[in-house]
Structure 1
């Protein structure tokens, strides 16, 4: 990997779950998450609901402050070495709920122009930029610029949110389930738009989704999260073709298929994820893993190298670790 444009280093985020002193309990939303992003790549992030994907996204863009660990942009620690205002002009986020993301009292042209004006761009220049961006994302500014959020469809609102993120001329965009609320035809249009913008502007994406087919289509690398930790991370084709963590295998086995010869005859994974307030010892997946053995219940698995830029935190890889 080239010098990372954005990296997470041992991020930890716990939320108070009640109690005081020794009896205080916390939800371990993110526990020691680390990864790097190369300029121009797309990292897909997948996992069950509650695994920490969205919390990780908010930590990356500094909407949440980590309990420990750091985020670095081009090698500079955000906060001590890189001011937050400068960082946010380089890293933007698009949220899942396109309606709640927009101010209902603002027209779409004002919503896109608002960010640049806060960062010192004149009102007239910001409006011109907003018009250009609305046009680029497929919305005629003459027709849609004066409308409010409730007057647009979900796909149109999400295009506005993408334009709003682009208004800062960012290098990195974090997309948290940005297309999951859209129907399939609109989803395909927004995905094509995202890929076109990536090529045109050299953008880097963190793409969070529960749709494994979409993630495979858009991502260069994929990170699989389970109960606040990174279970596996590697190149998309390598991870989908030869997963090296039982949890990844279960997720891929649950992917729907139109091929009648590949019907799922039994559930690939049983039970619910453990309580994040009191996660299991050792490997957090061992309570649901059919291949768990001795050390899984007592020893936290390290990240074993299982291929080129491909690592998996599973004890099953201890006997076959190699460097590709």
Structure 2
């Protein structure tokens, strides 16, 4: 199938000012030259540490903030370009569910009115919009006659997030961006919402971009995974390949940081030490080298390229070890195999 969303060389820098004259002293490289593709009908999980640019990326894709450069194409049409896809059409087909379920809802509007608001803005009659809202509340597991007249403060966290999902579906979009949509929920409610998302994906033929810190949740719901570090994509590929054989040392460290269900399975040494480098004018070369146990001179001299991907089965990483021609002493070795060799010594 053709790609649903294509992102090419997307950048967003935030200026930092200081000094007596409040002049610009640098830029925070929040999203730095990111390119990826989301295929129709799949769920692409996005993971990474706090501050790596995940939420900024989501807002750039929705054009809630303007990118500095780069191109976003939805359904084969460039967004905002001459004869391209207008923002109104983009937002009709691409909707977002935010992390904070309470602040996402207008406290002065009842639930039914919040869900019906989007269709009304796009020209649907009041009666038709209310009918759509009631139907969607039922789809997300909330009885419309009971929950429709209620206000957000009368709902639990899980119920508010279900309302947000219904509101995102009110315009019959083709794709949803879910930014930490279940991170504020307790585990039992989180499981219910995740199963609801999978059911809605099948029923409405949706495509998801799922952002989360929880690697277990991402593994459960995703078809492919994109790993971000300091504003850049460091690895991308099918979920099973990344979780069973990560190519990038950062991905391997993230996976080792997961909590185990077995109380005897304890982490003795931290899989990752140190802090990320300063995102304001970062040093050249690989941005992970200051925390990587396999870093060599080539990592400081040259930034690794992510590599090209052809389809959903492509597994690529921005690491000199993953490139057989890089000159690294472990060139052609994945991080998973390199760590296994170290453990065997």
Which TM-score band applies after superposition, normalised by the shorter structure? over 0.9
Q: Deviations over 1:163-183 (max 9, x none)?
A: 000001000000000000000
Output the CA distance in 2 between the equivalents of 1:243 and 1:41.
21
Output the CA distance in 1 between the equivalents of 2:38 and 2:242.
17
Q: Deviations over 1:234-254 (max 9, x none)?
A: 000000000000000000000
1:294 and 2:297 aligned: yes
Output the CA distance in 2 between the equivalents of 1:8 and 1:197.
25
Output the CA distance in 1 between the equivalents of 2:226 and 2:165.
23
Any residues of structure 2 matched to 1:124-135 within 5 Å, and which?
124-135=127-138
Shift of 1:259: 2.5
Residue 286 of structure 1 contacts residue 297 of structure 1 at CA under 8 Å; is this kept in 2?
Answer: yes
The corresponding residue for 2:34 is 33
Q: Deviations over 1:205-258 (max 9, x none)?
A: 000000000000000000000000001000000000000000000000001112
| TM-score, scaled relative to structure 2 | 0.90
The corresponding residue for 1:53 is 54
CA change 1:127–1:280 in 2 (3 A) is same
Aligned residues: 321
Q: 2:262 aligns with which of 236, 259, 266?
A: 259
Gaps of 5+ in 1: none
The corresponding residue for 1:65 is 66
Residue 46 of structure 1 contacts residue 53 of structure 1 at CA under 8 Å; is this kept in 2?
Answer: yes
Output the CA distance in 1 between the equivalents of 2:263 and 2:301.
41
Where in structure 1 do 4 or more consecutive aligned residues deviate above 3 Å?
Answer: 19-24, 304-308
Output the CA distance in 1 between the equivalents of 2:252 and 2:265.
15
Secondary structure at 2:119's aligned position in 1? helix
1:156 and 2:155 aligned: no
Any residues of structure 2 matched to 1:1-324 within 5 Å, and which?
2-19=1-18, 23-80=24-81, 81-260=84-263, 262-304=265-307, 308-319=313-324
Residue 37 of structure 1 contacts residue 43 of structure 1 at CA under 8 Å; is this kept in 2?
Answer: yes
Q: Deviations over 1:136-175 (max 9, x none)?
A: 1011111110111111000000000000000010000000
Structural RMSD (CA): 1.7
Output the CA distance in 2 between the equivalents of 1:22 and 1:154.
43
Q: Which stretch has the larger CA shift, 107-116 or 69-78?
A: 69-78
Shift of 1:304: 3.9
| TM-score, scaled relative to structure 1 | 0.96
CA change 1:289–1:71 in 2 (3 A) is same
Shift of 1:64: 1.3
CA change 1:143–1:280 in 2 (3 A) is same
Shift of 1:30: 0.2
